[in-house]
């Protein structure tokens, strides 16, 4: 019957028998295992990266960010093999408090440098709070509307790895991978909260500090150390009826900079006003950055700073490793509580308690009694 539902016997309320299940269209399907995502060898990663394959680059960055020891070992091999292809970029740190206009500015800066100088741009980020907030807002693609769809731009949010040192190290390693993939301009974004600026400063050639014009006392809010790190201070939102205030703030910053000792680079940090939103004054900022690069390449400071940074990261990595090895050690972690109580209870001095823990760690490590890693 063509329309069984018209039959008298058919009632919508009765449960009709179902039809027999057809056999599988593809009888082999059930036998086939789901294909695993193929794991590349270090050589394959490097080959893909050097070819500029963004998918491979992204996967390699994920590997760098992974906490699994086997991923870490592979990541280190990839990074080491990428090293000879890296280094030939300009690395610019961009920092500012939330709301200073970092994402708006980076969008405008990115479009300008790609348009004016060609090449490829990677935007990375360092946000030590990203683990707490489960995902970083820095380097978030949705915040950089135009750049995120630009074919020559690669935007990667901050790794969520816990300690600032850990996050920063991963970003530094990602720089190497990006450079090997042909990115000749690297922006590293961070929030202006103090420590993360030091981390960014230790991996870039030029450190740009975004400021806002305030009520005239803006200088009080920013730490001297951070201002001293800046190779350029740029005052955003110099538009509409904010222009005069921005100019005034700029002159305050210029005066304040005079009070600091001359930077090692021999470069005099400049203060400029601009509007990221209306794209005013962007060219001047990048003329300044490139002028600086020419200046420090000519006087040797460019290479000097990069070498210092390479050394710094070697020691940082050693420090981090030693700290982790110490605190993650089961014997030590079982002793820490008591040591703390002894110090607080006046039964031991801070130094003697520390000494005891260190002696235990090194002594037993020497005897091989401690199971460390």
**Interacting residues toward ligand GDP by CB under 6 A:** 96, 98-104, 236-237, 239, 275-277
Nearer to ligand GDP, 245 or 305 (CB): 245
Instruction: Give the nearest distance from C-beta 262 to ligand GDP in angstroms.
Output: 30
Instruction: Give the nearest distance from C-beta 103 to ligand GDP in angstroms.
Output: 4
Instruction: Give the nearest distance from C-beta 98 to ligand GDP in angstroms.
Output: 4
Nearer to ligand GDP, 122 or 235 (CB): 235
CA dist 186 and 123 (Å) reads: 6
Instruction: Give the nearest distance from C-beta 96 to ligand GDP in angstroms.
Output: 5
Query: Is residue 236 helix, strand or coil?
Result: strand
Nearer to ligand GDP, 279 or 293 (CB): 279
| Residue 319 region by backbone torsions, left for phi larger than 0, else alpha for psi between -120 and 50, else beta | alpha
Between the CA of residue 209 and those of 193, 231, 315, what are the distances in Å?
Answer: 12, 8, 26
Instruction: Give the nearest distance from C-beta 54 to ligand GDP in angstroms.
Output: 24
Angle at CA 100, nearest 5°, toward 267 and 134?
110
Nearer to ligand GDP, 109 or 302 (CB): 109
Instruction: Give the nearest distance from C-beta 114 to ligand GDP in angstroms.
Output: 19
Q: The tokens of 263 are what?
A: 């930077």
Nearer to ligand GDP, 138 or 339 (CB): 138
Query: Is residue 141 helix, strand or coil?
Result: helix
End-to-end CA distance of the chain: 74
CA dist 297 and 79 (Å) reads: 25
Instruction: Give the nearest distance from C-beta 310 to ligand GDP in angstroms.
Output: 30
Q: The tokens of 57 are what?
A: 């680059």
Q: Answer for the pair 203, 168: CB distance below 8 angstroms, yes or no.
A: yes
CA dist 357 and 344 (Å) reads: 16
Q: Answer for the pair 219, 252: CB distance below 8 angstroms, yes or no.
A: yes
Nearer to ligand GDP, 158 or 329 (CB): 158
Nearer to ligand GDP, 277 or 286 (CB): 277
């Amino acid at each position: 019957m063509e329309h069984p539902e018209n039959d008298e016997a058919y009632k919508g309320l009765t449960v009709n028998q179902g039809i027999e299940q057809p056999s599988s269209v593809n009888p082999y399907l059930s036998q086939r295992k789901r294909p695993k995502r193929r794991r590349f060898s270090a050589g394959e990663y490097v080959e893909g990266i050097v070819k500029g394959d963004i998918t491979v680059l992204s996967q390699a960055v994920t590997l760098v960010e992974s906490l699994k020891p086997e991923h870490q070992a592979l990541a280190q091999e990839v990074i080491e093999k990428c090293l000879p292809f890296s280094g030939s970029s300009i690395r610019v740190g961009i920092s500012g408090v939330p709301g200073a206009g970092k994402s708006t500015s980076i969008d405008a800066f990115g479009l300008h440098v790609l348009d004016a100088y060609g090449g490829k741009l990677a935007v990375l980020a360092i946000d030590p709070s990203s683990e707490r907030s489960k995902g970083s807002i820095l380097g978030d693609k949705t915040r950089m509307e135009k750049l995120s769809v630009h074919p020559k731009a690669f935007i990667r949010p901050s790794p969520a790895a816990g300690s600032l040192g850990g996050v920063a190290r991963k970003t530094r390693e990602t720089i190497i991978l990006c450079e090997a993939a042909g990115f000749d301009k690297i922006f590293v974004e961070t929030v202006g909260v103090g420590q993360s600026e030091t981390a960014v400063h230790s991996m870039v050639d030029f450190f740009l500090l975004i400021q806002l014009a305030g009520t005239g006392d803006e200088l009080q809010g920013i730490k001297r150390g951070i201002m001293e790190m800046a190779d350029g201070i740029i005052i955003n939102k110099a538009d509409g009826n904010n222009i005069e205030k921005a100019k005034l703030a700029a002159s305050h910053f210029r005066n304040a900079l005079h009070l600091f000792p001359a930077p090692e680079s021999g470069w005099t940090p400049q203060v400029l006003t601009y509007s990221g939103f209306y794209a005013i004054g962007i060219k001047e900022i990048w003329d300044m950055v490139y002028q600086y690069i020419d200046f420090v390449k000519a006087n040797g400071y460019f290479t000097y700073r990069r070498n210092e940074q390479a050394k710094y990261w070697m020691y940082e990595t050693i420090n981090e490793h030693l700290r982790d090895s110490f605190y993650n050690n089961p014997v030590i972690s079982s002793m820490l509580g008591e040591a703390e109580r002894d110090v607080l209870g006046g039964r031991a001095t801070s130094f003697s308690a520390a000494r005891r823990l260190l002696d235990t760690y090194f002594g037993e490590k020497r005897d091989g009694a401690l199971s460390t890693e």
